[in-house]
Each structure stands twice: as structure tokens, then as C-alpha cells.
Structure 1
């Protein structure tokens, strides 16, 4: 039997050579299958199908991988489902962990007062149970078996804190690096941090990143962007340290923990304290959206540029085209009204000549009209109209957008102001109703 690992370059080269000339392989075990390239995975799936069809008794392939590795393999060849056997290695049941503790207590002639906490917190991991029991013994100064049976009197909180301190040496910096993402957006919705938090709540050590957004709509846009645009995969691929604890499969959108110590560490983090340490202003989002865009179709180019730029900063922005699949077949007025009334923390009005004449902009403006008083409406006045055309705008501060000037420079300037506004709101600060933000001409 030959054992190969996708973690070793020499073994990967041997796997590829084997695939190129699959003759009388014998039994080959490929570990860490999930770390192979998509092409190599597909070639392995093709070879397994061929071996199964030929009922080859001279060659057998066994692949080992993280959670759902078997499903990932089948995704490369749907007809493999009835040709191969997938053997899941589940977490150990509590009675098996209890049996492990019993044997340790018998060997040392002790009784752990925190055994029930250890069994519960280990969540089926022998390694975690042993780690917690070991530290309980260290705190009780038990280093070897004693003739007299001894009952420990340790605080489980203290035991867990000691374990967390040890784990932090290995995992703190990696967790922070992942939570910050490719670039820290302090005012953003912290998509990487939320992915890590959702992962910590998973009993299976894995999450479907896109499916999670259905359960957490406040992070839908920011998480969807980092997943579908490849930012999440790039972040993990760029760091050997992160790769040791996390794996992401772009084909299935699965994010998986690879180390039992790391899952214990993130499950027991103080998440508010961690978020503050990472550098986020806040991870509490009372509104579904940070901004809702209101504009006439003639000025869609400005609205779309704002949407793209704000989304890049990991903010949630309501933009009609991006939500068409949700609006479809819904009562449009019932769908839109709450967004402009309260579900968006702030409303951005792109005010051009056509704005007062459109049916939907009239409807939207009625919904958010009262929000001018609380500084929650941000008008962007295009150079093609005068302030007098919009009475409410004349009474509050507003931003200018000159269609004849460089659009990129203006976009950067406007987005910079909007980010400051969002950061102020996120940190709990409130503006006066007549806020004024000058924009360079």
C-alpha cells in the first residue's frame, strides 16, 4: 500500500504521474484530497470511475479529506455516487468521551470534579477532552498516580481560561488575520469575522458560506461579494498559517475547520472583545442596510458607481437591480416602503432633473421625507439642477456631483464622506439635523 499526501510537493507530483499512467496501481491512499487542484481532483474522479467500470482488482484508490470531501469528489463526476463508497468519520458520541475520561481517572486514581463540563465542551473530540483533562490535572498538581484516590477541586472556568491562553499563542494571530480579510474595512460589515463566527457555531466544523447568508440577511451582500469574487479563496491561499486551520472549497462554497484545537478556540472567544481588537467599529447592525439608493433611471450611472464603491467597502447597500430576484412577484410598494422608512440606516438621494417627475422616486421620497429631520437622508445634487428645485435640500447640507468633471475623483471624494458618515453612525454618534459636508469642487 502506498500513502501519499496532498500537503507534500513530491507526493503531489507522484499523484499526477500516477494519473498520467494508471497501470497496476495496487492500493493507493491519498490524504488531504481537498488540498489538490481542481484539475487533479477531476482526474482522480475520472480514474475512480474507470476502475469501478472495469471492476479492476489490481488497483484501489482511497481518498481522505475533510468534511464533505466525498461530496466534493462526486461533484466532479455525478455518476460516481453509485460506484464508490463514502465513509464519513463522525465525531465521537458523549459516552465514548466519558469512557476516555474514565480510563484516565482510573490510571491516575483520581476523580475530576469538572468531568461533565469536559465531556460537554469537547463536543466529541478526544483531543480536546484530553487537553482539558490534562490542564485540570496540572492545576491540581497531579503529575502521577497516587495510592489514595483524589478528587480535584478546580474551577472549570479557570481550566478553560488556561487552555485558551495556551491556544491563543498558536491561533490568535491567525484568527485576527482571517477576520480582517484582505484589507481591514473598519466601517464595513465584517464579512470575514462573521464567517468565522458562524463557523464557531457549527457542530459539523463546516458551513456553506452562501447558505449562511440566507440566515443572516444583514451580512448577505458583504459575504456574497467576498465569496463569489474569490476574495475568500485568495485570502486563505495567500497564507500558509491560515491554510493550516481553514480550508475553502470554491466549488461547494464550503468553509471548513481543519484543526480541533482551532474550533475549540473560536468557539470560546469573547466575540465583542475580539471584534474590537481586530479593529471594527461595531459588529451590531440595527439596520438591514447601511444605505438605500434613490434615483431616477437617467442617473443610474451615478447610483451604480456608488453601489459598487460602497460594496467594495463591505457595506450593505439597497440597489434595485441587485435585488430584482427578491422584488420579482412581490408587491413592490410593500417591499420598498419599509426599506426607505427604516430598514436602511441612511438614504442617498441622487437628485437630477428627472427625479421629481418619476413615479417611483416620488413614492420613495414620501417614505423617507420625515428622516431629513434626523440627518438620515444624504442628498447628492447633480450639476444639471439647482438647489431651488428641491426645497428640502435647501434646508440641509448636501453633496455636489459635477457631470462635467472627472467622475472617478468625485466618486472617491463622495464615498470618503459617506464612509465617515457611516462610521460615525456605527460608533453611536449622531449628527445635527442640518449636517453640512463640503465637497471640493
Structure 2
């Protein structure tokens, strides 16, 4: 007769390799766990826990809270939950001695961040902290230094701890603890260690998936060795996550307004998936990847922020700080999903066309100074359609100290998908517009220049039978705005849609 495991030796798979909540059997403390626990336990002392996604910041805090407050653990607040935001905003000096644990701190707006930073400073400076709230702040890398920038005096008065990714030894211990509990051994644990890259969640997920693939759902009566095929396990994890992540990932990739050629968001996300970490400086990414530099520069200053502000399901998964150019995937499951996604198949499902060229601007505007008001209005309207436009005034600071001629030549020849030229007698006679025409004239034959004739001036190199926009402009800008949108802006947008 086969002996069954004793009740206290028996565990279900989901309780061993845990992908939600705090693991009971496979929690591995980070090296600085004791220091974190002591600071969280210290009455009133503000504590900051930072680290990249997947390092177990929140899990570590939950574990410490369970040890310190076994009967009544403080609630963890996050701006990801709209109902939590008023509670976070309401934290003040008179909140009593409550403990407020704030996760995803970096997602709060600057006003709330600064208010909490000042509150933390005030609390930390008090010798007697009776009756004062305690703050435990959790966020991505550098949240501590960001807080210090807001309130410089706080640096020596708070506990700042960085939870680093797990070492190979720590990841191996997670695998070992779970394997012992389930009475199994997983073949090639070194591969799991390599693929997890120190990510505790991913380690748990891979082990759990390997067990399921081998029919293991609980502690075994006799020891079993589990073999696994990496490709099959990766596909299983991606398939399991697809229902959660495919819709927002496609929404992100397609941008604010879908066009078959409007793929800079797709290129950005694919590039991030190829990095070793999920927290990326977009300036550094652009400089290290010349093949997509144009696309990254195309969206990093404004378009990306607007996209996330308009699409809530994207904002729940992706974080972007336009000031620091920090882009982050905060969910380690999402990062794994993207790393193992079939990107060529996703491109087809998004409806993008293949292109060998990478453009920083969809449109480069060429105009004479007399038509600046018109050009500015066109730029603003195109931008509302999620079209990237080179309009000189927006980029003057970028080119300080360099010659305009060099930058203009590059923009009008190489870095713009199309050129829109506002042609009239001023454009014909003035030096800079003439220089721009010399730059983009060779592109006329390739239908990459859209002439907008504002009067009857004839231009060499612009054939009389070229399909153009004829917009007789009388200078009365305010009376012609609707006509400008219909006759110029929407026609330019339609041309981009057709590319």
C-alpha cells in the first residue's frame, strides 16, 4: 500500500511556487532584509524602498509587515487604484499614528509627492513621534533620490533601501525550497537562473509552469525529476498572459491614431523588450540604437506622455516621466511577455507595414517667416492627430551651438517622412526657404513633397502638373481656420495614412 504524505508535509502547487502575494515556502529574504524590517518597525521613521520591477520590493515589505504586525497588517495604498488616491492625498500631520504604506509612489503627481516628502521631513525631525503617522514609500529605482531632490534636508532622516535583483544563489534557493516542498527536482535549474535574471516573480512563474507541464499540482508521494523544453515553457507562459496583455500592448503600439506607417511606439516597445532591464532612459536608448533613434526621438518629448494620458489601459502598464525620459514596465510578467513575444506576428496584427527607414518626423514644415502663424496652426492641428512635425521654433534649444544649415539639410533630406512646403513669393525670394527648397527638391520626384501654393508664384523644380494643394491665403488667419483644417491638415494626414 502506498504511503500518503502527512498533512503537514502536503502542499498544493499554487501555495509553493506563488505568483500572487507572499510565498509561504519559497520566500527568500534580500540581503538587506533585516535593515528594512528594523526601519519599518522604528516608530515614525519614514522609509523608502526602491528597486527595479521583479526584485520583490512589495513582497519584502509585506513580509516585514506580517512579522511586525501579525494580527493587523497595515493596508498598502497605490495610485493604480483610483479609490486610493484621495486617501493618499489626505495623509497629513494630524492623521494620528497610522501607518501608511504607499506603493507605486513614482506614479503620483509632483504636488502629492512633494507634500508627502515635506510631511516625511517634518516627522523625521521630531524627537517624539507619538501621534504622528509613519510613511513607508515603495517605488522604482531612484525614487529615493527623486524625493531628496524635492526636499534636500530629508536625506539623513529617512531610511532608504534598495532591493536588488536576486543573486544566482538566491534564485537557486527559491527553486530548491519549492522543489523540496513538492518532492521534485527540476532539470537544468541553471537555465531558470539565467532566464529569470534575478527576477523572483519570473522564477516562481517558470517553476510553476514547468510543474504544470509535467502534471504536478501538489506534493508528490515519491520524488520525481521534471524535464522541460524552454521554448514550450516560454510559449505556455506567454499564452497564459496573452489575454491580460495583448489588448493594451496593441493599443500602445498603434498610438493615439492608427496609421500603417505610424509605428514609433511599436519600435520603442520592441527595443525595450530586448534590454536587460525594464526601466529605460529613452535618451540613452536613442543614442545606443541608431536604427530606431528617429522613432524614439519622435515620441519621447511629448507624444508618449499624451498617449498614456489618453489611454488608461496603457497607463496601467507603462510608466513615463517626460522630464527625466524614464520609461518603465512595472509589471515583471509584462516584461517577460514582451521578451518572448513574436514581434513580427504582432506587427501584422497591429496593421503596420514593413519599412527599412526610421524617421524622426512625419512632416517637416518649410515656410517663410511671413507665414509663421499659418505654419504654427498647421503644426498644432497635425500634432493633435498624433503626427510628429518639425517646426523650427519647437527645436531651437536642441540645436544651440550648431549650424542651422547642417541640421536643416539633415531634417529636410533624411529625417522627415514627408515635406510640406508653404509656397508663395516670400518662400521664393528669401534665403532660408530657398536653402530648404534646395535640400528637398530631389524628393519631389519621389512624391515625398506636398506643395501648398499660397499664391501663383512659379517655382523651379516643382512641375506645374504636380498634384498640389492650392490654398489662396489672404492673410486673414482667424477667418480661415476651418478651411485650413479641411484643405491642408486633413489632406496631409490622408497622405500619411496612404503611405
Alignment-derived partner of residue 437 in structure 1: none
Contact 1:113 1:151 in 2 (8 A): yes
Contact 2:76 2:100 in 1 (8 A): no
- Where 2:135 maps in the other structure, the secondary structure is strand
Change (3 A) 1:269 1:412: farther
Return the match for 1:309 from 381, 399, 421. Answer: 381
Contact 1:199 1:205 in 2 (8 A): yes
How big is each residue's C-alpha offset from its partner over 1:58-104, in whole Å with a ceiling of 9 and x where there is no partner?
34623232214334433432221232121122221222112222333
Alignment-derived partner of residue 369 in structure 2: 297
Alignment-derived partner of residue 364 in structure 1: 436
Alignment-derived partner of residue 48 in structure 1: 120
Change (3 A) 1:301 1:385: farther
How big is each residue's C-alpha offset from its partner over 1:371-420, in whole Å with a ceiling of 9 and x where there is no partner?
222222221111x324x455633142211112148343233332333233
CA distance in 1, matches of 2:451, 2:349: 34
Return the match for 2:483 from 401, 404, 409. Answer: 409
CA distance in 1, matches of 2:345, 2:437: 39
Return the match for 2:396 from 321, 324, 330. Answer: 324
- Where 1:207 maps in the other structure, the secondary structure is strand
Alignment-derived partner of residue 5 in structure 1: 76
Contact 2:308 2:315 in 1 (8 A): no
Change (3 A) 1:391 1:157: closer
Q: Which moved more, 1:110-119 or 1:96-105?
A: 110-119
Identify unmatched segments of 5+ residues in structure 1. 426-441
Contact 2:301 2:322 in 1 (8 A): no
Alignment-derived partner of residue 302 in structure 2: 225
CA distance in 2, matches of 1:113, 1:29: 40
CA distance in 1, matches of 2:321, 2:405: 39
Higher relative contact order (CA 8 A, sep 6+): 2
Q: How big is the shift at 1:139?
A: 2.0
CA distance in 1, matches of 2:381, 2:362: 13
TM-score, normalising length from structure 2? Answer: 0.72
Q: How big is the shift at 1:351?
A: 0.7
Change (3 A) 1:243 1:313: closer
How big is each residue's C-alpha offset from its partner over 1:124-171, in whole Å with a ceiling of 9 and x where there is no partner?
22221122122222223344436465351x321011101111111222
Return the match for 1:66 from 127, 139, 145. Answer: 139
CA distance in 2, matches of 1:284, 1:114: 40
Aligned residue runs from structure 1 range 29-428, under 5 A: 29-34=101-106, 38-58=110-130, 59=132, 61-67=134-140, 68-143=142-217, 144-145=219-220, 147=222, 149-152=224-227, 154-181=228-255, 183-187=256-260, 189-190=262-263, 192-194=265-267, 196-197=269-270, 199-201=272-274, 203-208=276-281, 216-227=293-304, 231-235=306-310, 239=312, 242=314, 244-248=316-320, 254-281=326-353, 285-382=357-454, 384-386=455-457, 388=458, 390=460, 392-404=462-474, 406-425=480-499
CA distance in 2, matches of 1:342, 1:251: 27
Change (3 A) 1:192 1:81: farther
Change (3 A) 1:29 1:56: farther
Aligned length: 415
Q: Which moved more, 1:318-327 or 1:108-117?
A: 108-117
How big is each residue's C-alpha offset from its partner over 1:295-322, in whole Å with a ceiling of 9 and x where there is no partner?
2111223322332233333333322222
**RMSD across aligned C-alpha pairs, in angstroms?**
3.3
- Where 1:350 maps in the other structure, the secondary structure is strand
Identify unmatched segments of 5+ residues in structure 2. 1-68
TM-score, normalising length from structure 1? Answer: 0.80
CA distance in 1, matches of 2:412, 2:265: 28
Contact 2:183 2:221 in 1 (8 A): yes
Change (3 A) 1:34 1:385: same
Contact 1:122 1:128 in 2 (8 A): yes
Q: How big is the shift at 1:355?
A: 1.6
Contact 2:308 2:314 in 1 (8 A): no
Change (3 A) 1:231 1:377: closer
